[in-house]
Amino acid sequence: MRRPRGCRRIGLHAGNDALGSLTLENIRKSFGKVDVLKGIDLDVKDGEFVTFVGPSGCGKSTLLRVIAGLEDASGGSVRIDGEEVGSVPPAKRGIAMVFQSYALYPHLTVRDNMGLGLKQAGEPKKIIEERVRVATSMLSLGDYLDRRPAELSGGQRQRVAIGRAIVRKPKLFLFDEPLSNLDAALRVNTRLEIARLHRELTATMIYVTHDQVEAMTLADRIVVLNKGVVEQVGLPMELYNRPANLFVAGFIGSPQMNFIEGSRLGESAATIGIRPEHVSIGKESGTWKGKVLHAEHLGADTILYLDTEKAGFVTARLFGEHRFAADDVLYATPDPARIYRFGQDGRVLS
């Protein structure tokens, strides 16, 4: 599963096998009568970058917290590096977590925020200083060592939170929607930074997000969760090209895949799916005749919302600029090689 990565290993982990595998077996979690996780199985290899993605409330954060030990599973087992950690406290699991709200200690400086965990573990001062130095230089935080979190910008705070995770040299990095409190530009930068860190540290990372772009761009493998079950696990392009079911097909890709009732098109499948980017548009002829309801001109893309006679409501994504406007009558043609067929149960038909 692990994709070959032509990356060099850099300082921090040289000669240190801090890499960790993770195995989840039938993880269940219920809060009272509500089952949040309904039996999750997953294998994460050494050095892999795995993202958990899904709509809010799908259980992805809970799953991360179970792995961290902040939450007990109601059933199942968590193994890190082959070792069962069900009753091991978070600090002894060899994990480090980066929280959505950064969760920095507001009364401590950047230096102390990073060093506190090591200090508590009784590491010698010299080692703490050295590790903080390495981490801050990786994250270019050197100038801010003596500032308190309140004196830092959101992006800087997030980097401190990441630094605090790095100095612990964890087997497993856990990220809980770390970018959702940042503005759009910073989000892209920090995303690149996390990708770079993963290459440099070659550490195992688990990353929770509801943003499919983050998931697609960062991950070696993506785990799509919905209502407490794993819908599909796979490489980003696998999920895009070969979604296992309606949910994954609808969740991955933007704008969302068009779903058309099979009976309307005389197909035996219950639902027919076609991605907007696989619908071509003609002025004179095509498969489905329809009227433009609305056109969005984004420069690089033009997105058309069509009301077609045969297939109903269809979205089409055209590359580049096109001079279409509402009420134009056009023909939409799906790429036959890119049509997905789903059965009654929502599963894809092969």
Of 60, 157, 168, 171, the one binding another protein (CB under 8 A) is: 168
Nearest to 290 by CA among 242, 326, 320, 239: 326
Residues 161 and 96 sit within 8 Å (Cβ to Cβ): no
Residue placing its CB nearer to another protein in the complex, 98 or 216: 98
User: How far apart are the two ends of the chain, measured CA to CA in Å?
Assistant: 23
- From the list 48, 71, 177, 193, which residue makes contact with another protein (rule: CB under 8 A)? 71
Nearest to 330 by CA among 294, 301, 300, 299: 294
d(CA 340, CA 241): 10
> Rounded to whole angstroms, how far apart are CA atoms 46 and 117?
24
Query: Of 164 and 221, which has the nearer Cβ to another protein?
Result: 164
Among 117, 286, 343, 346, binds another protein (CB under 8 A): 117
Cis peptide before 4 (omega within 30 of 0): no
* Minimum separation from the CB atom of position 304 to another protein (A): 36
Q: Is residue 120 a contact residue for another protein (CB under 8 A)?
A: yes
Sole window of 81-89, 129-137, 200-208, 279-287 interacting with another protein (rule: CB under 8 A):
81-89
Alpha-helical (H) ranges within 202-287 are: 212-218, 236-241, 246-251
Binds another protein (CB under 8 A): choice among 10, 45, 79, 99: 99
Binding residue for another protein (CB under 8 A) from 103, 235, 293, 303? 103
Residues with Cβ within 8 Å of 145's Cβ and at least 6 positions away in sequence, in order, are 109, 110, 111, 132, 136
Q: Considering only 14-22, 102-110, 197-205, 308-316, which stretch makes contact with another protein by CB under 8 A?
A: 102-110
Determine the residue type at 239. L
**Does residue number 154 form part of the binding site for another protein (CB under 8 A)?**
no
From residue 203, how far is each of 16, 200, 340 by CA, in Å? Answer: 11, 8, 36
Nearest approach, Cβ of 166 to another protein (angstroms)? 13
Segment lying near another protein (by CB under 8 A), choices 16-24, 88-96, 139-147, 285-293: 88-96
Does 236 sit behind a cis peptide bond, omega within 30 degrees of 0 on the bond before it? no
Task: Indicate whether 134 belongs to the interface with another protein (CB under 8 A).
Answer: no
Please identify which residue in 75, 77, 83, 105 interacts with another protein, judged by CB under 8 A. Answer: 105
Q: Which residue, 54 or 69, has its beta carbon nearer to another protein?
A: 69
Does 257 participate in binding another protein (rule CB under 8 A)? Answer: no
Reported in sequence order, the residue ranges of 270-325 that DSSP labels E, i.e. its strands, are 271-274, 279-282, 288-297, 301-308, 312-319
Question: What is the Cα–Cα distance from 310 to 312, expressed in whole angstroms?
Answer: 6
From 39-47, 100-108, 177-185, 238-246, give the range in contact with another protein by CB under 8 A.
100-108
Give the count of residues interacting with another protein (CB under 8 A). 30
Distance from C-alpha of 277 to C-alpha of 280, rounded to nearest angstrom: 8
Please identify which residue in 164, 171, 187, 198 interacts with another protein, judged by CB under 8 A.
164
Which is nearer to another protein, 171 or 275 (by Cβ)?
Answer: 171
Tokens of 297: 């001109």
User: Is 89 among the residues that bind another protein (CB under 8 A)?
Assistant: yes
CB atoms within 10 A of CB 32: 5
- Under the rule (CB under 8 A), what is the footprint of another protein? 68-72, 86-92, 95-97, 99-101, 103-107, 116-117, 120-121, 150, 164, 168
